[in-house]
Amino acid sequence: MEIEKPTATGAVAAVEKRIFLIINCIILAIGNCGGPLIMRLYFLHGGKRVWFSSWLETAGWPVILIPLIVSYTRRRKADPEARLILMKPRLCLAAAVIGILTGFDDYLYAYGVAKLPVSTSALIIASQLAFTAVFAYFLVKQKFTAYSVNAVVLLTVGAAVLGLHTSGDRPKGESNKEYLMGFFMTVAAAVVYGLVLPVVEYTYKKAKQAVTYTLVMEIQLVMCFFATLVCTVGMIINKDFQAISGEAEGFGLGVAKYYIVVGWSAVIWQGFFLGAIGVIFYSSSLLSGILIAVMLPATELLAVIFYHEKFQAEKGVSLFLSLWGFISYFLGEIKTSRKEKMKQKTEAQLAHQTATAEP
């Protein structure tokens, strides 16, 4: 399988790759911080539909059609016989399966956000990095170092710390049972999405066709379509479609703002998913998980500022452990990268010496 990066001349320049990676990191960061905040806004002002909220996480998939149309138009100009769809049936099936898994993960996450403060759910989701690392080890042979193991342990312990004190930030009118249910559903969401990221990377590796960024967008579109389909079934069973107009009427911020919140929720979440698979394409599933974890402080701060959420000692400890875990992993990656470069340089020098020594 050949992975092709966007190029102008056929060979990928390191600078160009870095630029596209940074762009996807920014898109992921906006989605990662904005998604849970706008979702929580929906629940805080009267929104009660968990399936509808989870549906919004991937319902913005038609947005991806815009860059796909642009890409096709450019390919068509260069080659009149260019294919409309690059994805082969085998890859489409794999993306559909991942999409179905993502749909159920959306529900788990939306349930957690409905019951927990954003600052709490964000800290729990940070433990996703541990699960991503484990699944990446088995699926894509991601190498573990002392630094990455340390990061995994710290992030796992950081999430566990929150479980030691479950009553301090429980929203008013919510039972301890509901809070605990939200806690464990969010942990489950972290586990499932920790699996999804390496599975996407594994899909790229086993695609048996050249993987370009256009193909990545096609995969994202299929994934989100099937995830939305799963949530649509849930909405139909739960009769959410019939309840939307009534819920809008009783929304605390007004009818117009209800639809604004709903619309922007779909767009922002689409940015999250598109950014996540873009980072996987240009780097790895583990880096995608790391970036989701590193945006934790920003999400925490915004939740405390906008929603006046409590920030107890347990959250402080968990935040400290999560940041420590990220820094540990980041330093390990730098060290590993330097070793790899030195190894390649040494091998190149030996190859050159061998070539010049031959008669």
Share the mean pLDDT of the chain: 84
pLDDT band at 324; cut points 50, 70, 90? confident
Residue 52: closest CA among 228, 258, 240? 240
Alpha-carbon gap, residue 293 to 123, rounded angstroms: 8
Question: In terms of pLDDT, which residue wins out, 311 or 162?
Answer: 311
Q: Give the pLDDT confidence of 101-129 residue by residue, as tens digits.
A: 999 999 999 999 998 888 788 778 877 87
Judged against a pLDDT cut of 90, whether residue 162 lies above it is answered with no
Is it the case that residue 10 has pLDDT exceeding 60?
no
Distances (CA, A) of 309 to 112, 181, 194: 16, 20, 27
Rounded to an integer, what distance in angstroms lies between the CA atom of residue 296 and that of residue 298?
Answer: 5
The residues near 106 (Cβ < 8 Å, ≥ 6 apart) are 54, 55, 57, 58, 227, 230, 231
One DSSP character per residue, 265-287 reads HHHHHHHHHHHHHHHHHHS-HHH
Query: Is the Cβ–Cβ distance between 222 and 92 less than 8 Å?
Result: yes
* Range from 169-178, 203-212, 261-270, 301-310 carrying the lowest mean pLDDT: 169-178
In the predicted model, what is the mean pLDDT of residues 22-26? 90
> Does residue 267 have a pLDDT over 80?
yes
pLDDT of 351 higher than 80: no
pLDDT for 56 equals: 95
C-alpha 248/C-alpha 78 separation (Å) is: 48
Between 3 and 247, whose confidence is greater? 247
- Cβ(166)–Cβ(341) below 8 Å: no
Report the candidate in 171, 52, 174, 169 with the shortest Cα–Cα distance to residue 107: 52
Per DSSP, the residues of 230-266 read HHHHHHHHHTHHHHHHHHHHT-TT-HHHHHHHHHHHH
Is 301 a residue whose pLDDT tops 50? yes
More confident call, 176 vs 356 = 176
CA distance 221 to 226: 9
For residue 7, the model assigns a pLDDT of 46
3-state DSSP call for residue 44?
Answer: helix
Instruction: Give the pLDDT score at 174.
Output: 77
pLDDT tens, position by position, 46-81: 999 999 999 999 999 999 999 899 989 989 998 888
Q: What is the pLDDT of residue 352?
A: 65
Rounded to an integer, what distance in angstroms lies between the CA atom of residue 280 and that of residue 212?
Answer: 12
Section 145-172 average pLDDT? 72
